[in-house]
Amino acid sequence: MKMIKTDKLTYEYIRRDDDGNVEGITTAVDNVSLDVDAGEFIAILGHNGSGKSTLAKHINAILNPTHGTVWVDGKDTSDEANLWDIRQTAGMVFQNPDNQIIGQVVEEDVGFGPENIGIPTRQIWERVEESLRAVGMYEYRKYSPNKLSGGQKQRVSIAGVLAMHPKCIVLDEPTAMLDPNGRKEVIRAVRALNDVEKITVVLITHYMEETIHADRVFVMDRGKIAMEGAPREVFSQVDKLKELRLDVPQVTLLAYELQKRGLQLPNGILTVQELTQELSRILAERERK
Amino acid sequence: MAILLDHVNYIYNEDTPMAAHVLKDICLEIPDGQFVGVIGHTGSGKSTLMQHFNGLLRATSGHIYYNGEDIYKDDYDMKKLRSKVGLVFQYPEHQLFEIDVFSDVCFGPRNLGLDKRETELRAYDALRRVGLEDELFYQSPFDLSGGQKRRVAIAGVLAMKPDVLILDEPTAGLDPKGRDEILQQVKKLQTETGMTILLVSHSMEDVAEYVDRILVMNRGSVLFDDTPRNVFAHYRELEEVGLAAPQVTYILNELRNNGLDVDTSAITTKEAADEIMKLF
């Protein structure tokens, strides 16, 4: 069963002038069909205004398609009867943790969601504990959220979504406001959810190096899917990505630069270790000659 | 002429149980025309420090001299200081409010009491400097993309003709191309007009690429203050305070650990490529 499936999804905004007359129509998502398997980790890249966030908002029915259909865990998101099920199946985490935290104490914040859907108290506490443990924030459960760092707050937001027992989590630029350490903490937590809890992950980001562990990467441009594939396939196309206003991880860029200067390196190197191994291999070969 | 901080301390909620000592005995000199990068983990005091430069926050103790004058002197003209030291906050596009881009950028200079002609000249010049296309000038700022809005907001500060421009995470949330564009334009401003630039950033790669000098803040103190090359040589200490070095620094160190004879001080992709090619 597909966790997320979109069929010819199109979303149009109607632009109006000051008097409310229609000025024109902007197509934010244009005829997108994609499938995400249960348990998959996918990343969506794309420049500002490429339609990534609009696409993501369809996954938990914040937006409904103008044309086409979206199914989440087999349920059509346009059918209002499915709304609560879908919101519970697919949780969403946004850019700014400060806009997502409402509790005075960390554990209270994480318990807010389950409490709202009438889970018995004992189970709420169980869920709070397991969610906070999953993101490595259990020891902070009695803290006030405003005493936490950005990365910690963002992990609390993720725990809040986890406590709803979703099958799928959509993260829309969860690290945009964080320092390097905070970014690392959040990405580590997200990868653990996917590896250990088998939760389907959709990660939207502008940091290329955060996507190298994804199963598949989608690149959006003008509402369409411009590129799709394993990270290695996508990141071996440096020039095409640059045309789409994107980048590649710095290691990949360095490998690409070295290729241009004549070194026989494979395409799409993604990690420091890979590059080091390849360079050592080339050097060893030269010595043998 | 320069900015001089002399034993600056700042304590939030002083004399209450909530007191927090966020800036500790900061002594700094920032000469004219320098491009300074400021890095530090969330809560290290970067933004608090920036808000001292134009007098938005007043040091609990210590002195700040701008062009040789103590800004805490009773008769010091704070209004003038604020027009000379321009501060672009995080997510400055949230402060856009006018009906079109051009009017928004005119707001600052008009408030300085300049006449219409001078105001509009400055607005036009500022918008050109941030690289915004002419055809967008009469659009609503709210119809622009994230990167374009950000540039309009920066133009709004540039139109005040500051001598010092402080940018607090100007590239957060922008796509890679948008990040490059903004930073290149800021660099150009520095080289063409001699403006002093202070750039707060969480992107080590960006800082390595553009700035002359890096200040590393940690728990309210300056941990390192040196050229990018020398600062990133301390990459282990940087990691301990929640930061990192650019990825290329790790590559070169990894190569060196594997017994390859490379100099590990490169901080940009091009420098690293040059260094690695020396092996072949």
Q: What is the pLDDT of residues B109-167, one digit of tens each?
A: 999 899 999 999 999 999 998 888 888 999 999 888 777 888 899 999 999 999 999 99
CB of A99 within 8 Å of a chain B CB? The answer is no
- H/E element, A26: strand A22-37
The confidence score (pLDDT) of residue B211 equals 96
Mean pLDDT for chain A? Answer: 92
Q: How far is CA B103 from the centre of its chain?
A: 25
A99 and A170 in a single domain? The answer is yes
**Pairs of residues, one from chain A and one from chain B, whose beta carbons lie less than 8 Å apart:** 115
pLDDT of A166 > 90? The answer is: yes
Residue of A nearest to B272 (CA): A254
The confidence score (pLDDT) of residue B117 equals 95
A138 and A42 in a single domain? The answer is yes
pLDDT of A15 > 90? The answer is: no
A176 and A275 in a single domain? The answer is no
The confidence score (pLDDT) of residue A103 equals 86
A44 and A97 in a single domain? The answer is yes
Check if the beta carbon of residue A155 is closer than 8 Å to that of residue A135: yes
Q: Please report, as a single letter, which amino acid is at residue B108.
A: G
Share of chain A above pLDDT 90, in %: 73
Could you list the mean pLDDT of each consecutive 10-residue stretch along chain B, which spans 280 residues?
A: 91 86 95 96 89 94 95 92 90 88 94 93 93 89 84 93 94 87 92 95 90 95 96 93 90 88 90 91
CB of A25 within 8 Å of a chain B CB? The answer is no
The confidence score (pLDDT) of residue B1 equals 60
| Three-class SS state of A128 | helix
Is the ipTM reported for this complex over the cut 0.85?
A: no
How many independent structural domains does chain A possess? 2
Starting at the edge strand found earlier in the chain, the sheet holding A67-72 runs A22-37, A2-16, A67-72, A75-76
Exposed / middle / buried, residue B52 (Cβ in 10 Å: 0-12, 13-18, 19+): buried
Look at strands A41-46 and A200-204 and give their pairing. Answer: parallel
A212 and A84 in a single domain? The answer is yes
A209 and A273 in a single domain? The answer is no
A76 and A103 in a single domain? The answer is yes
When CB atoms are compared, the residue of A15, A247, A261 closest to B273 is A261
A109 and A164 in a single domain? The answer is yes
A273 and A224 in a single domain? The answer is no
pTM equals: 0.86
Is A236 domain-assigned?
A: no
Mean pLDDT score, A142-148: 88
A63 and A98 in a single domain? The answer is yes
Test A181 with B41 for CB contact under 8 angstroms.
yes
The confidence score (pLDDT) of residue B15 equals 86
Give the domain range for residue A283: 249-289
CATH code of the domain in which A115 resides: 3.40.50.300
Test B244 with A181 for CB contact under 8 angstroms.
yes
Instruction: Mark out chain B residues that contact chain A at CB-CB < 8 A.
Output: 40-43, 143, 145-147, 169, 172-179, 202, 204-205, 239, 242-244, 246-248, 250-251, 254-255, 258, 260, 269-270, 272-273, 276-277, 279-280
| Three-class SS state of A168 | strand
The confidence score (pLDDT) of residue B133 equals 87
pLDDT of A178 > 80? The answer is: yes
pLDDT of A20 > 80? The answer is: no
Is A254 domain-assigned?
A: yes
Exposed / middle / buried, residue B221 (Cβ in 10 Å: 0-12, 13-18, 19+): middle
Residue of A nearest to B171 (CA): A176
Is A72 domain-assigned?
A: yes
